[in-house]
Amino acid sequence: MTTDELPAGLDATAISILADVPENIASSTSTSTTGKEDGHLYVNRSTQNTATTQDSQSRVFDDDEDDFGSHVEDDEDSDDRQYSLAPERPRKITEKKRADHAAFHNWLQSNSNEIAQSPPQPTRNLNHTSTAMIVRESENRKIIENPREYQIELFERAKRKNIIAVLPTGSGKTLIAALLLRHTLEQETADRRAGRPKKIAFFLVEKVALALQQHAVLECNLEFPIDRVCGDMVRSDWIKESWMKRWDDNMVMVCTAAILQQCLARSFIRMDQINLLVFDEAHHAKGNHPYARIIKDYYITEPDKERRPKIFGMTASPVDALTDVKIAAAQLEGLLHSEIATIEEDSASFKQIQKEVIEQDCKYSALEPAFTTNLHRKIQEQVRYNRNFAKALSNSLEMSSSLGSWCVDRFWQIFLTQETLARMAAQTAQNNVFADRAEKEHVAIEEVRNIIKEHQFLPVTKTLQDLSSKVLCLLSQLELRFSAPTDHKCIALWRNETQP
C-alpha cells in the first residue's frame, strides 16, 4: 500500500504503520473462537467518489494532539507508590558498566543540547511521503472561485453577524470560511494602508491533522501570508519576540485552539488585535475546552464590543452527545455569541452536493485478546514504573489486539527515536527527586535504546501471525477499491462502541 492511498486525516504514526503493508495483501479467513464476537467493517460508498470505512469495535490511537508518549495524569495509583525507599545494599559496578553509563550520559548530553539549540525535527526518518505532503497534494486545488449559491448566502450572513454554519460533512464549510477570510483580509489591508493598527485572523482547529488540512486549503485559495503552528513546533518556542514576528509576517494563523489560548494567557496577543476567529468543529465549545476558555476568559472580557473580533463557527452538528438538541444548540449560540445558520434541504444548490451513501457490512473473525510481543515485554521490563512510558505501553497493548503483532513492533520502532529517548531521559531527570532512582531510570532508558537498536524488525507477512483479522479485512476492502488507478479517496475511522 502506498501513502497516496491513505487518508490525510490519519495520525502520522498510523499512516507510517499502514504504509508499510504490501499492496497485494489478501483477506485472511479464520474461524471465530468460542466466547468471542465477530467484528464488522462498515464501508460507505458515495456517489462523489469518497469511501468511508468505519470500524465498529475499537479505537487504536487516542485523539490527543501530542505523540504516543505524552504524560499521563497523576491519579491515586501514582507510580511513586510502587517504589520502596528503604536503602539497598551497594551494587558492584564493573568497569564495562561504568564505561557504558558514561557513554550513555555523553550521548544524552549531546542530544539534549542539540534538541535545545535547534527546532524540533520529525520524530521519524522514513522513506515515505510526509503527512503534510499527503494533505497538501490532496487539498491543492482552487475552490474559492466557484462557490455554490448556498455558500454565498451563508457568506453574506457571516459578513453581517457572528454565525455558526451547520452543514453536512463534505458540503464546503471551509469554502465559506475562505470567502469570509478573504473579505476580512481585504478590509485589513485597507485598514493598514490607512495607518490603523495591525490585526490578524485565527483559524482554530481541534487536532494537528486538521491544522495541516485546513492550512493546505487556505494557502491554495488565499493570496495572503498564512502560517501554521501546531504540536511539536512550539514545545520550546514560548518566547514573545518570536511570536510577535509571526504576527508581523502573516495575516492568518492556522493553529490548534490550545496554542491561541496559551498566547492569550502569556499576553503574546490581545483579543483586540484579532479581526476574525474561525472555529472548526465548533460543537466542541463547551466546558473547559480551549474553544470555550478563549471566549469566556478573553473574548467577553473585552469591554468594547466593537474591538472584539468577528466569529465564524463551522460544524456538521451543533450537538456531539446525547443531549436535547434545542438546549445544546442554544447553549452553543450563547457561548460563541453567534447565531446558528443553515440552509433548507430542498435548496436547489444544496441538492447538488447531497450524496447517495451505499453501506456495505464486512465481517471479520473475532479479534484476539490483547497480548504482549517479545519487544513489548523487553521494553516493559525496563520502564514499567516510568510514567513517561505509561501511555505508549498502554497503546502498544491495545494495538496488539486491534492491529496485530507486527504493527506493535513497528510502532515501537517509529516512536522510540533518538530524540524521543533523549526527551524521555530529560523528563525523567526532572521528575525524580532521588538521585538513586534517577540513575536507575537513566540506565533503563539506555537499555531501551539498545533493545531497539538490536531488535530484528522483520517484513510483514499476510497472515494472522502479523496482522489482526480486522486489518486484513480493511486491507482487502482497500485493495478492491484502489488496486486499479482511481481518483477516489478514503477515510478510515476507528470507533469505540459499547457492546450490549
Report, as ranges of residue numbers, the positions in the chain whose pLDDT lies below 70. 1-141, 232-237, 319-323, 345-358, 432-435, 493-500
Q: How far is CA 121 from the centre of its chain?
A: 17
pLDDT at position 141 is 62
Q: Which residue has the cell 483477506?
A: 27
Give the pLDDT confidence score for residue 374 in this predicted structure: 95
Continuous segment of H or E residues that includes residue 103: helix 95-117
Cα–Cα distance between 311 and 340 in angstroms, integer? 12
pLDDT for the residue numbered 82: 38
pLDDT at position 102: 63
Neighbours of 466 (CB within 10 A): 22
45: left (phi over 0), alpha (psi -120 to 50) or beta: beta
pLDDT at 348: 65
Q: Which residues pair with 490 in a beta bridge?
A: 51
The DSSP call for residue 91 is P
The dihedral over CA atoms of 17, 18, 19, 22, expressed in degrees to the nearest 10, equals 120
Query: Helices 405-415 and 374-383 meet at what angle, rounded to 10?
Result: 40
- The residues, any chain, with a CB within 8 Å of residue 122's CB and separated by 6 or more, are 130
Cα dihedral angle (413, 414, 417, 419), rounded to 10 degrees?
-170
Note the pLDDT of residue 113: 54
pLDDT of residue 81: 36
Q: What's the DSSP call for residue 273?
A: G
Alpha-carbon distance of 316 to 336, in angstroms, equals 16
Phi, psi torsion values for 186, nearest 5 degrees: -65, -40
- pLDDT for the residue 321: 55
Phi/psi of residue 313, nearest 5 degrees: -105, 150
Angle at the Cα of 130 from the Cα atoms of 124 and 135, rounded to 5 degrees: 145
CA–CA separation, 136 and 128 (whole Å): 15
**Chain length of the chain:** 500
The confidence score (pLDDT) of residue 69 equals 42
Amino acid 96: pLDDT: 56
Give me the pLDDT at residue 391, please.
93
Phi, psi of 120 (to 5 degrees): -60, 135
C-alpha span between 496 and 149 (Å, rounded): 38
If residue 184 lies in a helix (H) or strand (E), which one and from where to where? helix 173-193
Of 85, 104, 130, give the one whose Cα is nearest residue 436: 85
Query: Which domains, and CATH codes, for the chain?
Result: 1-65+357-367+473-500 (no CATH), 68-122+368-467 (no CATH), 149-351 (3.40.50.300)
The Cβ of residue 243 has, within 10 Å, a number of other Cβ atoms equal to 20
Residue 330 corresponds to which cell in the numbers above? 442554544
Task: Specify whether the CB–CB gap between 181 and 251 falls below 8 A.
Answer: no
d(CA 243, CA 248): 9
Q: Report the distance separating Cα 497 and Cα 34, nearest Å.
A: 21
Query: What is the predicted pLDDT for the residue at 327?
Result: 85
* pLDDT tens figures, 219-243: 999 999 999 998 766 666 678 888 9
